[in-house]
Structure 1
Amino acid sequence: MSPAPDTYFALALIGPAILALFSFCFLGLWAFSGTRNYILLFSAACFIYSLAAIVQIALWPADFGQNTILSALLYTTSVVMISNGVLQRAGQQMSPFVMIVIFTTIMLPIWYFFYIEPSLIARIYILNFGYGFVFIYVCVRLVGLALGPFIDRFLYWVLVAFAFHFFIRTTATIDPELGNAPGSFGRSVFWLVLQVSLAIFGAIMALTLLAATVADLLGDMERDRDTDLLTRLLNRRGFERIAGSHMSRAAGRQVSLISCDIDHFKSLNDTYGHGAGDAVLKEFGALLLNTMRGEDVIGRIGGEEFAILLTGADVEGARQFAERVRALLENTHFESVPDTRVVTASFGIAQYRPPEPLRKLLARADVALYAAKKAGRNRCFVAGQTQ
C-alpha cells in the first residue's frame, strides 16, 4: 500500500528540514568566528542538500529528465562542498582537478542512463557509490585524524561509517523492480526509506561536524585568551598553563627554563617612542619563534620580559640556545631604531628540579637574569653556577 500524500510529504521533508536547520546553525557559527571559512562550506552544503531533496519532492522542474539532472547536480555539489569543508578544517584542500573529476564521473553517467540508455537502477548506483567513493577519498586524505584529539578521531570514524553506508544501504535496500517513470520511484516506499535513512545519517554527520566546529571555536577563544596580541607569543597565563603541563609530562626528561629581558627597554621607549618599543618587541618575538624547536614553549610574561621552556635540554643546551638568541638579537637591525642603537637582552637559565612548581623554577631563572644584568647586561648566566 502506498503512503497517503500527507504522510508522504511529512516523511519526505524530514531530511531537508533537519539539514536546513543545521545550515542556519553553521551560518551563525561562521558569522561568530569571522575567519573559519570551512564553516560556511558546511552551511552551504546542508542548504544545497535540502534544496536538492525539495526539488525531487516537489517535482520541480516538472520535466523528469531536467528534474533528475538538477537534483543530481545539487546533491553532488553538496557532497563536494562538505568534503572540501572537512579537508579545509584539517588544513587541506580539494583541488579543482579532483572536483572536475567528481562532477564528470557522476553527472555524465547520470545523463547517459537517463537520455541514452534509461536505467533508474544504474542512476541510483552511480549516485550512491559515487558519493561513497568521494567520502572514502576524504578519509584517505585525513587518516591522520584517527590519531588526533578525541573530536578529530570521532569525526574520522563517522566519516568512514558515512562513506560505507552508501554502499551497504544501497545494495541492501535497492528494489530491482523499480521502473523509470516518475511515479515508480519518487512516490515509492523505497524512496521514503532512502530519505529517512539519509536524514538519520545526515543528522549524525551534521551533529558531528557541529561538535567539531564548536570545539574549534572554543579552542580559538582559549588561544586568543592565552596569546599576547603584540608578539603573538603566549601571554603569562598561557605560558604558565602550557609550560606547567609540559613539566608535569616530562617523565624523566631534562627540562630547562630561560628568562630573558630586553636591556634598557625603558630608555628605548623614552628616546624613540612606544611605537619603536612595540616594533622591537614584535620583531624579538618573531626571532624567538623562528629559533624555537617544535616542543619549546615561549611566552611574553611581562612588558619586556620573556620566558622559554626547553623540554629535552639540559642546562648547557639551554645556555647554548640562549647564547644563540642573544647573538642574533645583538646583530638584528630594527627599522624603528637608529643603527647606532644596538638592542640587546640578558638571559637567566635554570634547570628543572622535579617536583618544583613553575613559579620556583622561574624565580631561580630570574635570579640568574638579575645577576646577568648586574654584571653588565647582554650576557647569559646559569642559576647556581659561578660565572
Structure 2
Amino acid sequence: MTFVPSALLALFALTFCGIWGACRVAVPDHKCDFLLIYGAAFLVFSMALFSQVASLPPGVASNAMVSGSLYVGACLLLARGVLERSGSTLPAAFYPTAFFAILLPTAYFLYVDSNVIVRIYLLNFGMGAIFLYLAARANFLRRGTLTDRILFWLIVALALHFFLRTLLTVGSVTAIEHLPRAELIKDFGTTSFWNWSKISVALLGAAVGLGLLTVSGADIIMALRSERDTDPLTGTLNRRGLDSEFPRLLAKSSMSPVSVIVCDLDYFKSINDTYGHAVGDSVLVDFAELLMSSVRPTDLVARIGGEEFVIVLAGMTIQNAYSFAERIRKAVQDRRFDHVDAGQIITCSFGITRYRKNENIWGAVKRADGILYAAKEAGRNRTYAEGMQRPFAA
C-alpha cells in the first residue's frame, strides 16, 4: 500500500496524456495542450511522493531537497495548465521566482540552521500560496460556465488544504523536534503530520484528478458540440446550431419581444462568377464578421445556406430591429471588400418579422424570408419589415 498513492497519481498522468491524444484526433482545432501540462504535473507529483516514501535519493538532506523541488515544480505545472486551458498565463518570471523563493530558504534551514518545523511551513505554505495566487489570477472562472466554476473551487480547496493540514498536524512534529537527529528521523514517519500528508495527497490528488478529468471531458464535449453547431466558413451558427440555441434565447427573453431577420447579399452569384469562389467566400466571411460584431452577446447569428443569414434579436421590437438592419445595410453598402474592384458596390437586403409565441423558429424564418423576397422583388438593397410601411428605395 505504500506506493499506491504515487501509482494513482501516475495513472492520472497517463490518463491526461491519453485524453490529449484523443482530443487531437476528435477535435483538431481545439486547443488541448493544457492536458499534457496536467499530465506532467501529476507525473511530477507522483515522483515527489515516491521519492519521499522510497527514500530516494537516500539521505535526509538530499531527499528533502529533491522531493521538495518536485512538489513545488508540480504545483507550478498545474497552475500553468489551469491558466492555459483558459487562454491565460502567469508572468514568465513568476515560475522561477516562486520556485527559488520556496527552495532557497528551505535549503538554508536544512544545511545552515537545521529546523524541520520551519521547513514544513515553508514548503506547505509556499505550495498553498501558489494556488491562492492562481485562484486570484483565475478569478474570472467564477463568472464562467459550470465547469469553470468547478475548476475555480478545486483550486481554492487545494490551496486551503495546504494551510489547514499543516496547522492541524504540525504539532505532532513539534513534540519530537527536540530529539536527537537520528531519533527525529525515525519518529517522523509515525507523526500525524506525515500520515495525514500521505492520506491527503492520495485523497485530494484523486479528487483533483477526477475533477480535472470531469472538467476536461466537459470541455471536449462542448468543443465537439460547437464544431457540430458552427458554420465552418463564417464561424456563425449553422441550422442545427440555431435550432439548439434558439430555445435558450427564448428562455431568457420570455417576457420580451423577439425579432427575426433574414438577410442575404444581393447578386452574390455574380461575385462568384466574376472573381471566383475564393473571393466569394472572403466576402461572406467579412459580411458574417460585420453581423456578429453588430449584435449583442444575447443575440444569435446563423448562416442557413449560401449567402443567406438569420439574425435573432432578443428583447427588440420590429421598429428597433428595422433600425438595426438599416445600419448594417448602409455599412455594407459603404464597405470596400478585399479582392473586389474598388468601384463595385456590394449590397444586401433584409426581411424582418416578429417571433410569435409558441412558434417554431423556422416558421418565423419562413415569414421573414417571404418579406426578404418582397424586398428583392422591389429592387434589392433595402429593408422590409412586417407591419411597417415599406420604403420605395434605399
Q: Using structure 2 for the length normalisation, give the TM-score.
A: 0.89
Residue pairs, 1:1-387, within 5 angstroms: 10-11=1-2, 13-34=3-24, 35-174=31-170, 175=172, 176=174, 177-178=176-177, 180-181=181-182, 183-184=185-186, 187-188=189-190, 190=192, 191-387=194-390
Identity across aligned pairs (percent)? 38
Partners of 1:257 and 1:307 within 8 A in 2: yes
Checking the alignment, whether the CA contact within 8 Å between 2:243 and 2:361 is kept in structure 1 is yes
SS of the residue aligned with 2:93?
Answer: helix
After TM superposition, the runs of 4+ consecutive aligned structure 1 residues lying more than 6 A away are: none
Higher relative contact order (CA 8 A, sep 6+): 1
Bigger shift: residues 259-268 or 350-359 = 350-359
Instruction: Give per-residue Cα distances to partners, 1:264-290, cap 9 Å, x unaligned.
Output: 122222232222221111121122222
Q: Give the deviation of 1:88 after TM superposition.
A: 2.6
Q: Separation in 1 of the partners of 2:376 and 2:33?
A: 48
Structure 2 gap segments, 5+ residues each: 25-30
Partners of 1:185 and 1:221 in 2: CA distance: 54
Q: 1:149 to 1:279 in 2, by over 3 A?
A: closer
Q: Is the 8 A contact 2:9 2:206 kept in 1?
A: yes
Q: 1-side partners of 2:143 and 2:338: how far apart?
A: 44
Aligned length: 377
Structure 1 counterpart SS, 2:389: coil
Shift of 1:136: 1.9
SS in 2 for 1:228: coil
Q: Deviations over 1:23-48 (max 9, x none)?
A: 11111122233322221211110011
Distance 1:383 1:363 in 2: 12
Contact map agreement 2:329 2:381 (CA 8 A) in 1: yes
* Contact 2:165-2:196 at 8 Å conserved across structures: no
Q: How far apart, in 2, do the equivalents of 1:299 and 1:166 lie?
A: 48
Letter in 1 for 2:235: R
Moved more, 223-232 or 35-44: 35-44
Runs of at least 5 residues in structure 1 that lack an aligned partner in the other structure: 1-9
- Counterpart contact for 1:262–1:305, Cα < 8 Å: yes
Give the whole-Å Cα distance in 2 for the aligned partners of 1:106 and 1:44.
Answer: 20
Asked whether the 8 Å contact 1:259–1:348 carries over to 2, the reply is yes
- For the 8 Å contact 2:135–2:152, the answer to whether it is kept is yes
Distance 1:373 1:143 in 2: 50
Structure 2 CA distance, aligned partners of 1:185 and 1:47?
Answer: 29
Q: By how many angstroms is 1:333 displaced? A: 2.0
Letter in 1 for 2:74: S
Contact 1:110 1:126 in 2 (8 A): yes
TM-score scaled to structure 1, two decimals?
Answer: 0.91
Partner of 1:6: none
- Separation (CA, whole Å) in 1 of partners of 2:379 and 2:188: 85
Q: What is the distance in 2 between the residues matched to 1:282 and 1:135?
A: 42
Query: How far is the alpha carbon of 1:185 from its aligned partner?
Result: 6.2
For 2:27, the equivalent position in structure 1 comes to: none
Cα 1:239–1:278, aligned 2, differ >3 Å: closer, same or farther?
Answer: same
What code does the residue aligned with 1:349 have?
Answer: I
Cα deviation for residue 79 of structure 1 reads 0.5
Whole-Å Cα distance in 1 between the matches of residues 271 and 316 of structure 2? 33
Letter in 2 for 1:278: D
How much has 1:189 moved relative to structure 2? 5.5
CA distance in 2, matches of 1:184, 1:129: 24
Kindly provide the amino acid, as one letter, of the partner of residue 257 in structure 2: Q
AA partner of residue 30 (structure 1): W
C-alpha separation between the residues in 2 aligned to 1:200 and 1:127? Answer: 19
Alpha-carbon RMSD across the aligned residues, in angstroms, is 2.0
Q: Distance in 2 between matches of 1:166 and 1:184?
A: 24
> Which sits farther off after the overlay, 217-226 or 313-322?
313-322
2-side partners of 1:33 and 1:301: how far apart? 28
Amino acid at match of 2:108: Y
